[in-house]
């Protein structure tokens, strides 16, 4: 479909403002002949008269006036695109699509978001919460810009930035604490240990950190979220391993004891991931430092 040109709409607007081809041409920084031809071309496209060529002064037709109104809108809209583009040119401003795994998002983000918003008020974080492999796939496709996740995790062609190491704690129902005074990973009762369902990296990290065997048939005890897991422990169904950020009082029910391990403590690593050769790498590093210090 043949469409008017933005240029032609500019010409029309100038003509409406100046009521004169020559004056309008000056405004548009073109010669009068150019503008004249432009308006004529526009009339041809629309198959409709836009101006009544009086000898003395040029006047727009009713349709011409109507069209000028729309034209102004359209130009204004396109200018908004450019303005927006320039506005977000500064580092850590504009939209940033951040993927976060479910065992980090609800605990860590509330801690850091206020500080980030304060430091980077023009940053528009779009949060996407999903499992590690899913957000990795999305960042590979380019549907996400940055990931906040737990290592170790294979992320080919990506830059990983280590942020901090996070210890695991043992969560068990009150009164069922192990009698030992010191707790080491070897003392865990595999039978009563509840874990997240497959796909959550927390499950794999916990198992690896504690040197456990891959439990074979635990489906009956697998949960879909840490919150669910905590509730199960709270009701005496068993024990579980919680990352430190999930152990804050306000997140836990009354009937749970949280016990820390002896050295060497089991841990997971938290960090950022972005596409190697992303033009925003330095921005992401800045953001990472801000997250650690938040």
Using CB under 8 A, list all residues that contact a copy of itself.
1-6, 9, 45-49, 51-52, 54, 56-63, 66-67, 70-71, 73-75, 77-82, 84-86, 88-89, 94-97, 126, 140-143, 145, 275, 279
CB-CB contact of 126 with 96 (8 Å): yes
Among 27, 41, 72, 138, binds DNA (CB under 7 A): 41
Helices (H), the chain: 6-18, 21-28, 32-46, 62-87, 105-119, 132-141, 201-209, 226-234, 281-293
Among 58, 101, 139, 270, binds DNA (CB under 7 A): 58
Q: Which two tokens stand for residue 152?
A: 């170790």
Q: Which stretch binds DNA (CB under 7 A): 35-43, 129-137, 182-190, 264-272?
A: 35-43
**Closest to a copy of itself by CB, 9 or 241:** 9
139 contacts DNA (rule: CB under 7 A):
no
Contact code string over 167-206 relative to DNA, x by CB under 7 A: ----------------------------------------
164 binds, among DNA, a copy of itself, none (CB under 5 to 8 A by kind): none
d(CA 244, CA 51): 73
29 contacts DNA (rule: CB under 7 A):
yes
39 binds, among a copy of itself, DNA, none (CB under 5 to 8 A by kind): DNA
Closest distance to a copy of itself from the beta carbon of 11 (Å): 13
Contacts of 274 (CB under 8 A, 6+ apart): 139, 145, 146, 147, 158, 159, 161, 280, 281, 284
d(CA 56, CA 35): 18
CB-CB contact of 247 with 171 (8 Å): yes
Please report, for residues 8, 142, 191, 232, 243, the alpha-carbon distance to residue 188 in angstroms, rounded to integers and kept in the order given.
76, 41, 9, 17, 16
Among 9, 39, 50, 209, binds DNA (CB under 7 A): 39
Among 16, 38, 136, 229, binds DNA (CB under 7 A): 38
d(CA 208, CA 213): 8
**Closest to DNA by CB, 21 or 120:** 21
Beta partners for residue 263, in sequence order:
none
74 contacts DNA (rule: CB under 7 A):
no
Q: Which stretch binds DNA (CB under 7 A): 48-56, 161-169, 204-212, 220-228?
A: 48-56
Among 9, 12, 13, 21, binds DNA (CB under 7 A): 21
Residue written as tokens 């506005």?
87
Residue 252: closest CA among 193, 189, 178, 171: 171
Interacting residues toward DNA by CB under 7 A: 5, 7, 20-23, 29-34, 36-41, 53, 55-56, 58
């Amino acid at each position: 479909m043949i469409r008017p040109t933005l240029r032609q709409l500019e010409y029309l607007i100038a003509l409406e403002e100046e009521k004169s081809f020559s004056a309008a041409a000056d405004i548009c920084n073109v010669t009068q002949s150019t503008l004249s031809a432009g308006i004529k071309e526009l009339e041809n496209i629309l198959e409709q008269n836009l101006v009544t060529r009086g000898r003395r002064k040029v006047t727009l037709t009713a349709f011409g006036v109507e069209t000028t109104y729309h034209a102004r809108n359209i130009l204004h809209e396109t200018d908004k695109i450019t303005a927006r583009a320039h506005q977000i040119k500064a580092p850590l401003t504009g939209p940033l699509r951040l993927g976060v795994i479910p065992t980090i998002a609800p605990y860590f983000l509330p801690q850091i978001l206020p500080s980030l918003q304060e430091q980077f008020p023009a940053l528009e974080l779009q949060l996407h919460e999903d499992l590690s492999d899913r957000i990795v796939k999305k960042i590979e496709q380019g549907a996400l810009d940055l990931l906040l996740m737990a290592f170790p995790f294979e992320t080919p062609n990506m830059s990983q930035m280590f942020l901090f190491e996070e210890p695991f704690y043992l969560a068990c129902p009150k009164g069922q604490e192990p009698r030992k005074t010191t707790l080491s990973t070897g003392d865990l009762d595999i039978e009563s240990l509840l874990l997240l369902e497959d796909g959550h990296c927390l499950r794999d990290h916990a198992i690896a950190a504690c040197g456990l065997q891959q439990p074979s048939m635990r489906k009956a005890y697998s949960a879909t979220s840490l919150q669910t897991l905590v509730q199960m422990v709270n009701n005496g169904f068993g024990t579980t391993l919680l990352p430190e950020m999930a152990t804050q009082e306000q997140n836990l029910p009354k009937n749970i004891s949280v016990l820390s391990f002896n050295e060497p403590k089991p841990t997971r690593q938290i960090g950022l991931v972005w596409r190697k050769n992303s033009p925003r790498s330095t921005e992401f590093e800045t953001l990472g430092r801000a997250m650690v210090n938040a």
